[in-house]
Amino acid sequence: MSYYLVQTLNALSFSVLLMLTGLGLSLVLSLMNFVNLTHGSFFLLGGYVAIHWIGAGAPWWLAFPAAFVIAGAVGLVLDRFPFGRFYPRTHLMQVLLTYGLSVIFADLMRWGFGADTMSLPTPELLRGVVFVAGLPFPIYRLFIIVSGGALALALWYAIDRTLWGAAIRACVIDRGIVETLGLNTRRIFTVGVVIAAGLGGLGGALGSGMLSAYPGLDEEVLLLALLVVVVGGLGSFGGTVLSALLLGFVTTFSRVWLPEFANFLSLGIMAAVLVIWPSGLVVRKMRPV
Amino acid sequence: MTFSESRLMTSTSITRRQLLAASAASALGLGLMRPVRAAGGETPIKIALITSLSGPFAALGESMRAGLELLILESGGKMGGRQVTLLVEDDQGKPDEAVRKVRKLLSQDKVDVLCGVISAAVALAIRDIVADAKALTFISIAAANGLAREASSPYIFRPTKTSWMLGHTGALWTYDKIAKEGGITLGSDYAAGREYVGDFINTYRQQGGKLGQQLWTPLGTADFAPIVMNLAALSPAFVYAFFPGADAVRFLQQVRDFKLQDKIRVIGPGALFDQEDVLPAAGDAGLGGVNTYHQSPGAPASAEFAALYQKVRNRLPGEASTSTYATGQVIRAGIEAVAGDIAQKDKLKERLLSAPVSTALGPMRFDSRNNQAILDIYVNEVRRGQDGKPFNTVVHTYPAIQDPGPKA
Amino acid sequence: MSALPSSARTTASVPSAAPKTSVPSSLQPHALLRITDVAKSFGASRVLESVSLDVRAGETLGLIGPNGAGKTTLFNIVTGFLRADTGTVLFEGRELGAMPPPARARLGLVRTFQKSLVFPTQSIRRNVAMAVRAQGSGAYRWWGGRAAHAQADAAAQALIDGCALAGCGDELVADLSYGEQRIVDMLIALAQSPRVLLLDEPTAGLSTEEAAQLLALVRQHHAQTAVVLIAHDIDVVFRECDRIAVLDLGQLIAVDTPEVIRQHPGVRAAYLGALAEVQA
Amino acid sequence: MSTGLPAAPLLAKRRLGDKIALALVLVLALAPLISGDGFSLRFGAEILLIGTAVMSLNLLIGGGGLVSLGHAAVFGAAGYSAAVAAGSLGAQLPLMLLIGIAAGMLIAGIMGLVTLRSSGLFFLVLTLVVGQMVWELAFRWREVTGGADGLRGFPKLALGSLRLDTPLALYLVAAGIALIGWMVTRSFQQAPIGQALAGVRDQPIRMGALGYQVGRIRVTAFLVAGAVAGAAGAIYPFVNQYIGPNSVHWSMSAALIIMAVIGGVGSLYGGYLGALVYLFVQTEVSSYTDRWQLVIGLIFVATVILMPNGIAHWLGQRGVRGGRV
């Protein structure tokens, strides 16, 4: 029994990790209708930043804000050029642009940070275990579950419950109306991209404690994030959380019972979801024409 | 021999970029693309290193290049009295791309010697091409058993291990020193993992050992926790495991995170605890691990190379750098035997088959049946080194391990 | 014709031609399209509440109502783009059930959309030919496509030459004005040989002159088809339509001739009243 | 363009540009024949085969707005089927083509059916997932596919007793497939069915209202694209006597999309130009710099920003201007 409890916790921590990978992507997609495939690069960048930050001896808890700020700064630069002129374009053009950029970033990071696998020097405080019904469970995983959960709540609150979130949502529906209210839509989009990039970096900083950081992680994360966000349905933040939980639990428990077929099962279930619900798990109901 | 770091930085061997500039200049001058003539009036010997500078094995590729450049530099840029040109080609870890590169090297660059190759898939993919062209080829990393067996070829040498050599010795050591039953295996579910683990199981059973479950996980597993929990639940006497690169780091760290590092003995082929590729990232999570490998920075044979490498790259060498350096030593020995006349392939081959070459991996003989190196295999245990960091310490040596070869 | 009972607003709406309602549709030559008790909700909001309506062969039926009354949703249900929660749609006495939009279109239930959905990168003729081919057996043809193209192009050309765009068949639709694109949009619909033509605000955004052109085009083809017209321009509806149905908040509050509707108290209250005030 | 279609001014412009780009493609296609060395011919054969796959993908993307991130699975599955079949049945050219086309149509047909109701990003991700399932199969079904190591050592391509394993023979076979594939794809695009596909791309809702069965059109397009890609895929293993799981991996699908975009999404032979640029940069530039990925990324991003319609279209515009001056 306690065995399944811990495996459930494992599934939960992996789900939260998946959610963390998807947060930034989900934000720009659901709020600004912008597909940002450089998201995996932000994630890896955040991981590298955190690793070097702690490696340099700076206070560990500042590594996460540092990753947020640096990734966000890159987001700000990208927003100036070339993202800005692609906000009103089709998804296809956005996919192409940002995928191309992610290829460039992957190479730049390999150049700058080297090709070696690196792992986060986790602080002593987070390195221990707690005993769950007699079985050990790493504190770092609890840390990820708690901080990921808190982040998700904060985002949900900011988007659904604050004026700022309402403004961004309104931008997507009708930029003109928002501008007549005296808000600068261009600036709102900038803020959205910067926060999304920062979230990518923050996710990477947290995730590098579990995943390590190495060239190619950006692409793996991008794939998972895209899967999670798209299967969740582009309309809502709740969908992303739901599909992260689905993918996390399916993957974890297929590893428990059928480790050889873990990938196949996860892919199969995601495909089935998209076949049954072609617009993802959570869809805004709309009149078709 | 000592080298100053600055010299290494400034004057590596002639690289392709310089070659390009030179050929462009000669093309302008003569209106033709012709091979560069070195100062001595002779065309240089062209050695091509096929490795991954992008893709999943990029870190290994950089180490390999560093290892080979070091050897060429150490040889004064010459082998058998002739200048040596090194061409490095990126295969991205993709067989399709490697095949393209090899054809280009043979057909356009007209290289004399091919070496390198990390992935077994790449090695097998280029096998027919180099065999058809009768091109001298030295495989530095790829361990696929098949290349010592049905896919061996008269001009393909492998101055490195086969999967069997590591799996087999791993089983001998485990059976003798660790446990005769109650162990399990856990492998990355692709060709290399299947070979290492399969060879381990065969020998272990032949010895009379009894094994429990065999677990497989997909290549590129992000979260090992569910499997680690299964390990905890099974609490086996040992686990024989194989994962490459980042997977190895994650596995070892997650075993540590769940506080199982002291409870479960982890044994594997050397790549699981590679000194350069895995241990720096895995850190203390690697401590206590046992592996069988043809390479160890602590082995006497590689002491000199290890010191040199550490001076140049500020890190201890792992398999990739050492094996490629050793490959260079083998190539050099062959070229010296023909005094630089690389066209005498059979004489060169005869030299390598007739007497051992002294390399950073130890004395290396070649099996005349399949050109496969016969090597000492070290049993390394990861302990704290002099600087307190994890270090592959040699605890035993199985001398002259020979792959069963074509008859297997 | 008498005014509707005052309870019409609250009860299920009553088809206008009261004496005919009890006769089975098969025996009723006039009810080409019969909508019975159709209801539709999106989540919590009820868009249509039990609407029943007949469309008779050869007539022009106006469908009016304030924004959000459910007019377009009714079109979507009739043409199969949405499934009704309850209720039935009969076309020529045949229950359409779950029949998808393409099959309904091939029966002759043809519609336009609020936006003009044309093929901007192609010529006018190819736009219209696309609709012509959809009718015949050549729609999905690969081999022998040349003949199918030639036939469709000829038919398309005939349609184009009968309207204000005569002689412009080769022009790219993207190069046309908004009004002209509206005409192309209508030509596409007419090329589908409609039995019932459902027009969703075809004149919106057009000048009076352009609107007149467009409606003239519809009238040319009126002999073969019944027309259901959604329009916000009340003058147009009252001029063009034989009967007018009024939707408000998902309920059909009246169906009758323009004269009767003009006097209808419920309608005035719900719709015309407000409008009359504005006009006054 | 001789099906009684209108000769609008814009089409005339495009025709001139088309001719210039087409001439360029032909010149490039002839170049390896003149140089004649083994590597160039084989490399040329690869470009032609992969270019054919890109062209078939272009039928989906450019013709139907269906951005598939699983097209390598179609191409690679055909290659695997041909290589496996060659092992037991011999590598006769017509047989290989037949098997490759069948396999390509099977995978593409499954993809088309599965994605019937999807569009946009959902379509992209669903094709990615289905493609990765094919990859898993190729990677895991070791007994048949050779697993991670891939397949080698199967018989060499032949036609009757004529051996087709020389670089020149392979190049000619590839060129033949490219030519026939191009003709098939072009005739499809110009036929009513191709017009209907373009209609689905531009106005999917209107197409339904016109009475077209959108699903049937999409699946047909998938089948045709699968057949063309399958024919090219069937020959691909014989160029290097090797096929591995990389050729079905999603990163190959992404590369195919990149090639399609560089070449020009609307244009069929743009696929060949895109394949040429991509493979050339990948194989040649990487010999001189470790930063070749940076180069290809920059080329790609510059293409997307500066000439979003691709090289073929851009060339066409140059051509028109040049012609007028």
Given pLDDT bands bounded at 50, 70 and 90, which one contains residue B79? very high
Rg (CA), chain C: 19
- What would the mean pLDDT of B302-307 be, rounded to a whole number? 93
Q: Which chain A residues in 250-289 lie under 8 Å from chain C, judged by CB atoms? A: 285-289
Query: In chain D, what residues touch B192 (CB-CB under 8 Å)?
Result: 148
What SS3 class is residue D8?
Answer: coil
Q: Shortest CA distance to A212 belongs to which of B54, B58, B222, B268? A: B222
Residue A168 and residue A188 in contact, taking contact as beta carbons nearer than 8 Å: yes
Residue of B nearest to A116 (CA): B59
Does B25 have pLDDT greater than 70? no
- What would the mean pLDDT of A101-114 be, rounded to a whole number? 93
CA distance A49 to C207: 61
Taking CA D228 as the corner, what is the angle to CA D225 and CA D230, rounded to the nearest 5 degrees? 100
CB of C101 within 8 Å of a chain A CB? The answer is: no
Give the model's pLDDT for residue B149: 92
The token pair at A289 is 């024409």
Give the model's pLDDT for residue D123: 94
C-beta atoms of C134 and D210 within 8 A: yes
CA distance D322 to D325: 5
Q: Could you tell me the end-to-end alpha-carbon distance of chain D, in angstroms, rounded to an integer?
A: 26
CB of B219 within 8 Å of a chain D CB? The answer is: yes
**B101: how many CB neighbours lie within 10 A of its CB?**
26
C-beta atoms of C82 and A288 within 8 A: yes
Q: Is residue D18 part of a domain?
A: no
HSE-CB for C262 with a 13 A CA cutoff: 10
Q: Could you tell me the end-to-end alpha-carbon distance of chain C, in angstroms, rounded to an integer?
A: 29
Please state whether beta strands B78-79 and B82-90 pair in parallel, antiparallel, or not at all (unpaired).
Answer: antiparallel
CA distance B163 to C196: 75
C-beta atoms of A288 and C114 within 8 A: no
Per the prediction, chain D carries an average pLDDT of 86
Q: Shortest CA distance to D209 belongs to which of C250, C214, C185, A275? A: C185
HEC string of D196-265 equals: HHHHHHHCHHHHHHCCCCHHHHHHHHHHHHHHHHHHHHHHHHHHHCEECHHHHCHHHHHHHHHHHHHHCC
CA distance C123 to C106: 24
Give the model's pLDDT for residue D15: 59
Does B171 have pLDDT greater than 60? yes
Give the model's pLDDT for residue C272: 54
Q: Which chain B residues in 320-359 lie under 8 Å from chain D, judged by CB atoms? A: none
HSE-CB for D253 with a 13 A CA cutoff: 25
Cα–Cα separations (whole angstroms), residue A246 to A12, A124, A242, A269, C62: 10, 32, 6, 9, 50
Residue of A nearest to D61 (CA): A92
Which of B253, B274, B279, B389 would you mutate first to test chain A, the one with the most A CBs within 10 A? B253
C-beta atoms of A101 and D120 within 8 A: no
Q: Find all residues with CB under 8 Å of D5, minimum gap 6, and list them.
A: C126, C149, D11, D190
Give the model's pLDDT for residue B233: 86
Residue D309 and residue D265 in contact, taking contact as beta carbons nearer than 8 Å: yes
Q: Find all residues with CB under 8 Å of B125, minimum gap 6, and list them.
A: B95, B96, B98, B99, D150, D152, D240, D242, D244
Q: Is residue D32 part of a domain?
A: no
Q: Is residue D273 part of a domain?
A: no
Rg (CA), chain D: 19
Chain A and chain C share a number of CB contacts under 8 A equal to 16
Q: What is the pLDDT along chain C (280 residues), one digit of tens a residue?
A: 344 344 333 333 444 444 434 444 444 455 889 999 999 988 778 889 889 999 988 889 999 888 778 889 999 999 999 998 999 999 988 888 889 999 999 999 999 998 889 998 889 999 999 999 888 777 888 887 777 888 888 889 988 888 888 888 888 888 889 988 999 999 999 999 899 999 998 888 888 888 888 888 888 887 778 999 998 888 888 888 999 998 888 888 888 888 888 888 777 776 655 555 444 4
Give the model's pLDDT for residue D119: 86
Give the model's pLDDT for residue A103: 92
Tell me if there are at least 3 CB pairs under 8 Å linking chains D and C: yes
Q: Which helix (H) or strand (E) holds B312?
A: helix B303-313
Full DSSP string of B246-273: HHHHHHHHHHHHTT-TTTSEEEEEGGGG
Q: Is residue D321 part of a domain?
A: no
pLDDT digits (tens, 9 = 90+) for D164-212: 989 999 999 999 999 999 999 999 988 899 989 999 988 888 999 999 9
Highest-pLDDT range among A19-28, D12-21, D111-120: D111-120
* A148-157, C239-248, D236-245, D281-290: least confident range: D281-290
Q: Which helix (H) or strand (E) holds D129?
A: helix D120-140
Query: In chain C, what residues touch A286 (CB-CB under 8 Å)?
Result: 42
Q: Find all residues with CB under 8 Å of D183, minimum gap 6, and list them.
A: none
C-beta atoms of B229 and A119 within 8 A: no
Q: Which residue has the higher pLDDT, D63 or B329?
A: B329
pLDDT digits (tens, 9 = 90+) for D16-64: 666 777 777 777 777 777 777 788 899 999 999 999 999 999 999 988 8
Does D226 have pLDDT greater than 50? yes
Name the percent of chain A lying above pLDDT 90: 45
Which of C114, C117, C175 would you mutate first to test chain D, the one with the most D CBs within 10 A? C117
Residue of D nearest to B147 (CA): D149
Which residue reads 């002639």 in tokens?
B14
CB of B106 within 8 Å of a chain D CB? The answer is: yes
Distance to chain A for B325, nearest Cα, Å: 19
Name the percent of chain D lying above pLDDT 70: 89
pLDDT digits (tens, 9 = 90+) for D72-83: 999 999 999 999
What range defines the domain where residue D177 resides?
39-247
Q: Shortest CA distance to B371 belongs to which of B322, B310, B328, B330? A: B330
Highest-pLDDT range among A168-182, B37-51, C61-75: C61-75
Residue of D nearest to B216 (CA): D140
pLDDT digits (tens, 9 = 90+) for D197-206: 999 988 888 9
Taking CA C187 as the corner, what is the angle to CA C181 and CA C190, rounded to the nearest 5 degrees? 150
Give the model's pLDDT for residue B162: 95
Q: Which chain A residues in 130-189 lie under 8 Å from chain B, judged by CB atoms? A: 135-138, 140-141
- What would the mean pLDDT of A165-185 be, rounded to a whole number? 73
Query: In chain A, what residues touch D293 (CB-CB under 8 Å)?
Result: 103-104, 106-107
Of D61, D114, D250, nearest to A271 by CB-CB distance is D114
What SS3 class is residue B68?
Answer: helix
Local structure of residue D157 (DSSP, 8 states): P
Given pLDDT bands bounded at 50, 70 and 90, which one contains residue B303? very high
Given pLDDT bands bounded at 50, 70 and 90, which one contains residue B28? very low
- What would the mean pLDDT of B15-35 be, rounded to a whole number? 39
Q: Is residue D217 part of a domain?
A: yes
The token pair at A123 is 């602080």
Give the model's pLDDT for residue D9: 37
pLDDT digits (tens, 9 = 90+) for A236-255: 778 889 999 999 999 899 88
Domains in chain B, start-ordered, CATH in brackets?
5-161+300-309+317-370 (3.40.50.2300), 164-293+377-407 (3.40.50.2300)
Of D6, D193, D206, nearest to C140 by CB-CB distance is D193
Tell me if there are at least 3 CB pairs under 8 Å linking chains B and C: no
Which residue reads 């694209």 in tokens?
D225
The token pair at A279 is 């617009």
Which residue type occupies B389?
A: K
Which residue reads 């004064």 in tokens?
B76
Does D162 have pLDDT greater than 70? yes
C-beta atoms of B192 and D148 within 8 A: yes
Burial of C27 (0-12, 13-18, 19+ CB in 10 A): exposed
Give the model's pLDDT for residue B39: 44
Full DSSP string of A184-206: -HHHHHHHHHHHHHHHHHHHHHH
Q: Is residue D309 part of a domain?
A: no
- Which region, left, alpha or beta, applies to residue B62 given φ > 0 means left and ψ of -120 to 50 means alpha? alpha
Does B197 have pLDDT greater than 50? yes
Please state whether beta strands A129-132 and A135-138 pair in parallel, antiparallel, or not at all (unpaired).
Answer: antiparallel
Give the model's pLDDT for residue A92: 81
What SS3 class is residue B5?
Answer: helix
The token pair at D20 is 């210039």
The token pair at B269 is 């082929």
Highest-pLDDT range among B33-42, B320-329, D58-67: B320-329
The token pair at A277 is 């619900």
Domains in chain C, start-ordered, CATH in brackets?
9-108+195-279 (3.40.50.300), 121-192 (no CATH)
Torsions phi, psi of C111, nearest 5?
-135, 165
Q: Which residue has the higher pLDDT, D161 or D30?
A: D161
Give the model's pLDDT for residue A1: 67
CA distance D133 to D113: 15
CA A136 to centroid of chain Cα atoms: 28
Give the sign of the dihedral formed by CA A146, CA A148, CA A152, CA A157. positive
Give the model's pLDDT for residue C23: 42
Cα–Cα separations (whole angstroms), residue A289 to A18, D65, D206: 34, 19, 10
Q: Which helix (H) or strand (E) holds A230?
A: helix A217-232
Q: Is residue D7 part of a domain?
A: no
Q: Shortest CA distance to C248 belongs to which of C67, C23, C36, C6? A: C67
- What would the mean pLDDT of A67-78 be, rounded to a whole number? 95
Residue of C nearest to A286 (CA): C42
Which residue reads 């560089």 in tokens?
D262
Q: What is the pTM of this model?
A: 0.87
Of D39, D242, D290, nearest to B95 by CB-CB distance is D242
The packing angle between helices D214-240 and D167-190, to 10°, is 170
Name the percent of chain B lying above pLDDT 90: 74
Q: Which helix (H) or strand (E) holds D45?
A: helix D38-64
Does D5 have pLDDT greater than 50? no
Neighbouring chains of D at 3+ CB pairs within 8 Å?
A: A, B, C
Does D2 have pLDDT greater than 70? no
CA distance C11 to C1: 20
Neighbouring chains of C at 3+ CB pairs within 8 Å?
A: A, D
Q: Shortest CA distance to C123 belongs to which of C181, C61, C173? A: C173
Residue of D nearest to C144 (CA): D191
Is-cis flag, bond preceding A82, omega within 30? yes
Residue A20 and residue A148 in contact, taking contact as beta carbons nearer than 8 Å: yes
Per the prediction, chain A carries an average pLDDT of 87
pLDDT digits (tens, 9 = 90+) for B201-214: 999 999 999 999 99
Q: Shortest CA distance to D265 belongs to which of D1, D2, D64, D118? A: D64
Highest-pLDDT range among A120-134, B116-130, D304-318: B116-130
Q: Find all residues with CB under 8 Å of B343, minimum gap 6, and list them.
A: none
**How many separate domains does chain D show?**
1
CB of B189 within 8 Å of a chain D CB? The answer is: yes
Q: Which chain D residues in 2-21 lie under 8 Å from chain C, judged by CB atoms? A: 3-8, 10
Give the model's pLDDT for residue A206: 92
- What would the mean pLDDT of D1-10 be, rounded to a whole number? 32
Which of A48, A113, A210, A228 would you mutate first to test chain B, the one with the most B CBs within 10 A? A210
Q: Is residue D262 part of a domain?
A: no
Taking CA A247 as the corner, what is the angle to CA A241 and CA A251, rounded to the nearest 5 degrees? 145
Q: Could you tell me the end-to-end alpha-carbon distance of chain B, in angstroms, rounded to an integer?
A: 42
Does B3 have pLDDT greater than 70? no
Query: In chain C, what residues touch A285 (CB-CB under 8 Å)?
Result: 42-43
CA distance B382 to B279: 9
C-beta atoms of D129 and A106 within 8 A: no
Torsions phi, psi of C35, nearest 5?
-105, 125
Which residue reads 């400034």 in tokens?
B10
